Structures are given as structure tokens and as C-alpha cells.
Structure 1
Amino acid sequence: MGTHEDLTNEANEARNHYERKGTSRRDIVKRVGLGVLAAPLVSSVLAACSSGEDAKAVSGSLAADGKNLRLLGTNGGLAATWYAEGKKTLEKWAQLYGIKLDWVDGELNSKVQRDKLDNAVQAKYDIAAIIANETGTIVQPVQKLISSGTVVIPMVNQVAPPGETIGALTFVEQSSYDMGFRVATALFEAAKGQGTVIETQGPAAFTGAQERHRGFQDALKNYPGMKLLATDFGNWDVNRAQSLWESYINKYPEITVGYFHNDDMAFAGLQALKSAGRDGKTLIGGADAMPEAVKAVGDGRFLATARHSSCRIHMYPLVIGMAKKMGAVSTVPQKIVVDGPVVTKENAESLVFLQDDAILLS
């Protein structure tokens, strides 16, 4: 494989060849693929690590690639760190491609997200990257987008209830079942298969949370010596999660394992334990592997977490939607699957680095 510089040069040569012949950007993409635009993008992301004039020049040269494309983005709510990282990722890649991004913050509230989207879809969009707070709550505005010609790509939570289709281009997700199963298994192994466990879930009407719960349940079946004390919905809300765990601490003198559907809630549970003087006595596991959670695994506050790649999950709709709009692809699979590792001390440094604001690739 050539260097990033070689790839950039090859892409520019191909693009320049067709541009000299008067070929439009759209037709260039049809002939040689979106890679002719994406190869320089790799260099621009790496160049973003510095503030030199070369980085500015490379980024500036990309501004025309997505010119006149407009993207609508929304997810559960920026109060959750995973969602906030997703927005930051979309902002970076939209800027690099020259796409105009409009954002709707779901505020961890389905009604608020619906009201905001009803207003937002009065405008015309080329691409929409969407995570519904709860399945079934934003079907109508999403259908309006699709009927107006918007390429709609939901992520991690299905927009419509089971059995209903809305006409989205594809669905981007990572296996939440796998996250739930692997982290729960790691926790139960560390407990030597004996003790008590509490599960703190995401929203009930969120397909990703449902799958994490299913993975957790299947792992629990393999450890008959583990007793489930409670399983409640934390809804990604740190205040609710901390309140739940304060009540558990008052009720249960011993909690061997705490499994949380995301790391924000895991930190809230840990704070409740710490306030009661019981930190270090409960094995903690979560999901998302944001930088602070990766550090918590490294220093022993968490036993395990799994990387749920907010960066790739939020980036893919932009790149795939752009490819579709520019004619680089004609068909797209019904589901785009993203992978993510369980965090260990061996891979922790790379997972933190790849979430750096200048990179946002994992």
C-alpha cells in the first residue's frame, strides 16, 4: 500500500484529469468512486493534528466536494458524552467535506426531539443522520424527510416499531448484544461466578438498550451462582442512575457486580458507591469506552467497558449519504455493521488516541 501522500497524489491526478476534460464532480465520482475525494481527506485528518498552512490548504481544497449539500443531524441528547462525541464527529467531517450541518439536540427527551424535528424538516435536506430517543416517536418527521428526497440513515435505534418500514437508505449500528454479553461475562468471570448483580438499562423503547439487556441476560444464564437483585431503566440519565444506586446501597448490604448500559451511568453508580464508602467493593462494567471510562479501566475503577464507536457510527451516514447523493454507489446494504473491542490495558491507549478531537476515527 502506498503512503498517504501517494494516495493523495493519485486521487488528485485522477480528479484533475477528469476536471481538465470538463467532467463534473458528480460524473468524476461515478467514474472513479468517492475515493477520489476521500483519499485527500485522509491526509487532511492527519494534517489536522498540526496548525500549519499545509493543513489549512488541504482542508480548504475539500470545501467544494460537498458544496451545496445540506445535512440534518440529531441524536438522543448532548448531555450524554457518547452523543456529544457523535455531534463533534459530524461537525468535523461535515467541515472537511464542505457540507452544511444543522443539528437538533434530543435533550434525552422524546417529546422535545419530536417538536424540534417537526420544525426542522420544514427545510430541505440532502442527508439526515438520525438517532431517535425512543422507537416510534419521530416516524412522521422522518417520513417527511424521505418523501422530500432526503437520504435518511438512522443509527443504533430503529426509528419505526418492528414490522414497519420507513424507506431509510440503511441502518448503522454496532452489536449491542455483543457489548452486553462480553462485558457481563467479563464481570461474572471476575466475580468467579458467585455473588449479586444489578443491571442499569438505557431507555425501554431503545433497540440498542434492548439488545444490551438481551446480551446481559444470556451471559447471566451461564453463571447460576450470580443472583440478579434489580434491573431498572436509567434512560442514559446520570441523575436518575445515581438516585437508583443510592436506593440500592440502602437496600442491599452487598452488591458484587454493577452492569450499566453506558459509562455515564456507570460513573453515576460509582459516585453513589463512593459517597457511601463502598467504592472498590463492587465490580463495575459499562459500554461506550469514552476516554474517561478507558482511563477508569486502566486505574481499576471499572473492571470493563466496550468501545461503542460514536465516531464511526456518526461519520458513516455522512460519507454513505454523500456517496449516494453524488452517484458513487447505487445500492447500499440494509444494515451497516460497525465493530468495537472490549477495552483492555493493551488497547486502551490507541482507543483514547483515536477519539482525539483531531482524529475522531474510532
Structure 2
Amino acid sequence: MPEPTSFTSRRGLLLGAAAVSSASLLVGCTSNASDDEETAAGGQPAASDSPGKPVTIGFAGPQADHGWLNAINDNAKRRAKKYSDVTLEITEGSNDTAAQIGQIETLINKKVDVLVVLPADGKALTQVGLKAMRAGIPVVNLDRIFNSPQAYRCWIGGDNYGMGLNAGTYIGEKLKGKSDARVVELAGLDNLELTKQRTQGFDDALKNYPNIKKVARQAADFTVESGQAKMAQLLQAQSKFDALWNHDDDQGVGALRAVEQAGRDDFLMVGGAGALSAFQAIKQDNGVLKATVLYPPTMAASAIDLARALGQGKGVGGLAEYEIPSSVTLYSAVVDKDNVDRYMPTGFR
């Protein structure tokens, strides 16, 4: 578990590092005990590292046009290679919903044992999730959720509201001794529900700090270019503020360029997701970036563990239930200079 902090008391494959919440649930999936030795609390055999029934897992995600999405694919591939009893059928990935539906239908026709799907658009892909489930292929829905719980057997993903809540609480604790503190927010795509959830969590956290006022908000596009352009606008409009929360470490690269170009160092910055570049900047501690809030791509490795357990009809060690949970929400830990070394192996490029 992360080291406790005053504020905690979402882009290696250390399941127990970044994917903190799933680690306790999936302990049976990573145990070194044999199937005979490792059982769920209710007596159901739990998945283990020891080879078991062969499982073919179909993996379908969006195009890896973002550092976090690329890390999702890498985590899935590397986790699957860990198991000699797992065969991974991975699609090319597409942001075109029709193309992704076609890829998933191909996997269904191949009769894979389990599907892991990170939909480009959860609403648009709900029907193909339902189609797989009705064909007897359990679906692990990764991150972007389908509209119907009937379209998946298990959902695993990050906590967007929790990201905002923990970012706001971290900033609040840093500024609680300062009167009339001012903060700004560099959000992601405003047409995404996840962006709204991150902002809501941030705003709710700031309600606990009456000395702090959010004075500006800009929405970027989760890209380096948009981060730089929108941050430049914020800096020009706000001559003085005390803290910035940036929703995404990829767009944060551009935001930091804008900060450097403006010659500003009079505020602290908190990022989001967990990029390696952010971890490195936090460790160096010679700029405005002081922390980032995790949205761990290790969730894809955890999804492979869950899919393998489903395919083998196994439970999860440490739980009384015979079945794996219907949902797993990962914790949005805050990484700063005090614990960055622990999380460095999980940083994505």
C-alpha cells in the first residue's frame, strides 16, 4: 500500500504498486501457491501463477495515440506473457467505433474464452459487449464503461472523481495556511464524462478549504500541443495564482513548456495519470510540478488476471465469494517526492 500521507490517511507491471485497490482483490491471481493450496475463503479454488487450464483472451482497445493508451496495451501484453496458459489475441486498435466493433466481432467468431475490451466509446460498443456475453464469452470491461451491466461480467477501471478529490485535497493541504489562495485548472476534453468527474471531485475537495478560490479553468485535448496552448492562455489571463491542477500528464508536458516560456515559478502544479516524465520531474524537484495523481494503466494487467481467472473458473484469493467481483475501482494515489521512487517503475512513456 502507498505510504500514508496527510491527505490520503487515473496514463513495470507491479500490480501492488499503482493498481493499489486491485492488488488486495487479486492476491490469489498472483500467488505462488498451487491450485490445491490457494483457495478463496469460501473454498472455491483461486487463480494462481501455476499453469492451469489454457485460456485464450481477446483484447480490444482504442488506437494507442496517447501515452496512457500505449501503456494500456503494453501492460496487457506483458501480463499475458507471464502466464504459460494464456494466449492473447490482440487487435490493432481503433478510435473508429465501427472498426472496433468489427474487431470484437472477429474475436467473438474466433470463440475466444474471455474478452477484455477498452471501448473507444462505451455507449457505442454496448451492443457488441451484449453480443459477446450472450454468446457465452465473459467480458472484462476496462475503464470506459458500457451503458449496460449486462454487457460485461466485470468492470475494472480508474476513479476519475477520486483523481480530482485527491488532487484538490493535496493542494488544499499545501495552501491551507495561506489566505485568499487562488487556484486554476487545466482540464481535459470537456465532452468526456471522465473530465466532468475529475472537475467535480476537485471542486468538492476545495469546498473543505474556504481560503481557496478557483479563479480559472481551461479545457485542453489531452495532447502536448493543446496543453501548451491552453496553459499559455491561462498564464496570460492570470498574472498570479498559487496552484494548478492539470488533468493529464501528456498534456502536462506542453503545459510545462508554456510555464517555462513564461518564466513562471510562483505556483505549485499537480498532474494526473502517472507518466514517467512527471515522476522524473517530481523527483528532481526543481520546477513547479510537485505531484501527480495516478490513473494507473496497470489496470490492463489486472484485467488480464481477472480474464484468466474467469476463463479457468477460479475465484479470487482472500474473498469469501466463489466468483470474482463485478467491479474493481482503482485508487487514485498521489505521488510526490516522498513516495515517487516507489512508483517510478510503473511510469509510462
> Under a length normalisation based on structure 1, what TM-score does the superposition of the two structures give?
0.72
Counterpart Cα distance in 2 of 1:66 and 1:356: 32
Is this contact kept in 2: 1:175–1:339, CA < 8 A? yes
Deviations 1:172-214 (A, max 9, x none): 1233322212222222333435333222223345444333222
Residues 62-91 of structure 1: per-residue CA shift (max 9 Å, x gap): 6xx57461322314x423222222211100
Residue equivalent to 1:337: 329
Q: Aligned partners of 1:11, 1:275: CA distance in 2, in Å?
A: 57
Amino acid paired to 2:156: V
Give the match for residue 280 of structure 2. Answer: 295
Q: Letter of the 2:137 partner, please give it.
A: T
Q: Which residue of 1 aligns with 2:293?
A: 306
Cross-structure match for 1:21: none
Report % sequence identity. 17
Any idea what SS the aligned residue of 1:219 has? helix
Query: Per the alignment, do residues 134 and 197 of structure 1 end up closer, same or farther by CA in structure 2, a change over 3 Å counting?
Result: farther
Instruction: Find runs of 4+ consecutive structure 1 residues off by over 6 angstroms.
Output: 12-15
1:319 aligned counterpart, secondary structure = helix
Measure the CA separation in 2 of the matches of 1:349 and 1:135: 35
Q: 1:205 and 1:149 mapped to 2: Cα distance?
A: 34
Q: Which residue of 181, 184, 195 maps to 1:195?
A: 181
Residue aligning to 1:243: 229
- CA 1:155–1:319: 2 relative to 1, 3 Å: same
Structure number, greater radius of gyration: 1
Matched, 1:183 2:157: no
Match of 1:157 in 2: 144
CA gap 1:270/1:325 in 2 versus in 1, 3 angstroms:
same
TM-score by length of 2: 0.75
Q: Is the 8 A contact 1:104 1:113 kept in 2?
A: no
Q: Indicate the structure with greater helix content.
A: 1
Q: Distance in 1 between matches of 2:121 and 2:297?
A: 18
1:142 counterpart = 2:155:
no
2:80 paired residue number: 94
Cα displacement (A) at 1:336: 1.2
- After superposition, the Cα gap between the structure-2 partners of 1:194 and 1:99, relative to the gap in structure 1 and judged at 3 Å, is farther
Tell me which amino acid in the other structure corresponds to 1:222.
N
Cα distance in 2 for partners of 1:193, 1:150 equals 57
State the shift of 1:266 in Å. Answer: 2.1
Relative distance call for 1:132 and 1:203 in structure 2 (3 A) is farther
Aligned counterparts of 1:305 and 1:119: Cα–Cα separation in 2? 37
* Structure 2, gaps ≥5 residues long: 1-30, 316-321
Is the CA contact (8 Å cut-off) linking 1:135 and 1:207 kept in structure 2?
Answer: no
After the TM superposition, which residues 1-362 of structure 1 pair with which residues of structure 2 at under 5 Å, given as runs?
8=32, 11=34, 32-35=45-48, 38=49, 40=50, 65=52, 67=54, 69-75=56-62, 77-97=63-83, 98-106=86-94, 112-123=95-106, 124=108, 125-160=112-147, 164-191=148-175, 192=178, 194-278=180-264, 280-300=265-285, 301=287, 302-311=289-298, 313-329=299-315, 331-354=323-346
CA RMSD of aligned residues (A): 2.9
Give 1:183's aligned amino acid: A
**Which amino acid letter does the alignment assign opposite residue 280 of structure 2?**
K
Give the conservation status (yes or no) of the 8 Å contact 1:178–1:212: yes
Alpha-carbon distance between aligned partners in 2 of 1:143 and 1:265, rounded to the nearest angstrom: 34
- 1:131–1:154 Cα contact (<8 Å) kept: yes
Give the letter for the 2:91 counterpart.
Answer: W
Judge conservation of contact 2:121–2:144 (CA < 8 Å) in 1.
Answer: yes
2:98 counterpart letter in structure 1: D
> 1-side partners of 2:242 and 2:196: how far apart?
23
More relative contact order in 1 or in 2 (CA 8 Å, sep 6+)?
A: 2
| C-alpha distance in structure 1 between counterparts of 2:35 and 2:324, whole Å | 26
Structure 1 distance, partners of 2:196, 2:103, is 29
